[in-house]
Amino acid sequence: MKEKRFRKDNAMTAVRGKPVHSQLPYGFWQIIITMYLIPPLVDRQTLSPGYNLLERMGIYAFWILPLVLLCYHLGLRGGLVAALGVAPFFFWHLWGAMQLHAEYFSVLAVYFSLFMLFAVAVGVITGRLKRQADSFWRDAVTDELSGLFNHRFFHHCLEKEVDRVRRYQFSLALVIIDLDNFKKYNDTWGHPQGDKALACAARILQDTVRASDTVARYGGEEFAIILPQTTLVQAKQLCERIREAIESTPIPLQKGEKTEPLTASFGVAVYEQDMTALQLVEEADRILYFAKRSGKNLVTCK
């Protein structure tokens, strides 16, 4: 299950960008440390010893900037880091308040403690919002029945891969898969069992492809696989493994029994120079149609 999630995260981050921990701007931690050092340096250079509480509280309010940056990029972890950055100042003033019984230290200790609580609260809220955003994104790009990416996201990924092929000149293969006689299977066993068969086929696809490949439900009983940096021979070998796995996997019934396995036909196309994403799909679809007419349960290439 973790491996499937890792594969899906790879494909999603390929479109949205890199994972959060690698999205940090260059020199991010140096900037954060510098921001934390600015208020105490300004405090020592500009304010004379004594109370000046409002001035000092205003200067240390500058820490809201690194707090926002940390929470934006790291969520709850950012809030905890922001709180840890303030902790030494809190303990220093708390020690001063306990040892010297000075109102000055007491007020600033309370101020820093409130700032730490505020940092953690902002981190919690930001982390929750980030998780909700990720959940909404997953729902928008995932087919509910199969758990694979949906038709819309497939085309988005394919456009990205075609752009990369044009830029870096590596190979790209596209596979469109159609489950054979699926309408007859639905009529024989019912639509709920047909849904279970689709989910079973989707699991086989996910378990067979690489982490860098993108698997999607293209529509109905059709699936599609985007294979970056894959030659025609490599794509055909992969499809043969998938075809054999589908053909040898019975579909379980509710009472522990199993129906006969399904078979599938494959159309394999590779990117050619100046080809658009739509043309690549049309080519794979045309090859799939030839496989269906040639007896089904076949892997067909150009």
Condensed to tens digits (0 to 9), the pLDDT of residues 247-281 reads 999 888 766 677 788 999 999 999 998 899 999 99
C-beta atoms surrounding 150 within 10 Å: 19
Instruction: Report residue 298's pLDDT band, with 50, 70 and 90 as the boundaries.
Output: very high
Contacts 24+ apart (CB under 8 A), 14-17: 14/157, 14/160, 14/214, 15/153, 15/156, 15/157, 15/160, 16/137
Please state, in angstroms and rounded to a whole number, the distance separating the CA atoms of residues 144 and 170: 33
Instruction: Report residue 206's pLDDT band, with 50, 70 and 90 as the boundaries.
Output: very high
Distances in whole angstroms, Cα of residue 14 to Cα of each of 42, 112, 157, 159, 268: 43, 41, 8, 12, 23
Please state, in angstroms and rounded to a whole number, the distance separating the CA atoms of residues 5 and 23: 20
pTM: 0.69
User: Which range in 134-138, 141-145, 205-209 is most confidently predicted, on average pLDDT?
Assistant: 205-209
Domain 151-301 has CATH 3.40.50.300: no
Contact 228, 212 (CB under 8 A): yes
Map residue 257 onto helix, strand or coil.
coil
pLDDT at 170 over 50: yes
User: Amino acid identity, residue 164?
Assistant: R
Q: Which of 216, 208, 211, 209 is nearest to 145 (CA)?
A: 216
pLDDT at 281: 95
Please state, in angstroms and rounded to a whole number, the distance separating the CA atoms of residues 252 and 257: 6
Per the model's pLDDT, the better-predicted residue between 93 and 223 turns out to be 223
Task: Supply 126's token pair.
Answer: 């930001």
Q: Where are the domains of the chain?
A: 2-141, 151-301
Condensed to tens digits (0 to 9), the pLDDT of residues 83-97 reads 998 898 888 878 877
Please state, in angstroms and rounded to a whole number, the distance separating the CA atoms of residues 294 and 301: 12
Strand ranges, E, within 158-298:
172-179, 214-219, 222-228, 251-252, 258-259, 264-270
Instruction: Report residue 22's pLDDT band, with 50, 70 and 90 as the boundaries.
Output: very low
Contact 109, 142 (CB under 8 A): no
How many Cα atoms within 13 Å fall on the side-chain side of residue 39?
Answer: 20
Lowest mean pLDDT among 6-15, 209-218, 269-278: 6-15
282 is catalytic: no
Please state, in angstroms and rounded to a whole number, the distance separating the CA atoms of residues 264 and 247: 8
pLDDT at 174 over 70: yes
pLDDT at 2: 43
Bridge partners for 133 per DSSP: none
Burial (Cβ within 10 Å: 0-12, 13-18, ≥19) of residue 232: middle
pLDDT at 142 over 50: yes
User: Which range in 1-15, 52-66, 263-277 is most confidently predicted, on average pLDDT?
Assistant: 263-277
Contact 269, 171 (CB under 8 A): no
- Per-residue DSSP letter, 250: P
pLDDT at 137: 82
Task: Considering the candidates 161, 221, 222, 283, report the single residue annotated as catalytic.
Answer: 221
Q: Which of 299, 3, 301, 10 is nearest to 149 (CA)?
A: 10
The CA-based angle 267-272-276, given to 5 degrees, is: 85
Q: How far is it between the farthest Cα atoms of the chain?
A: 92
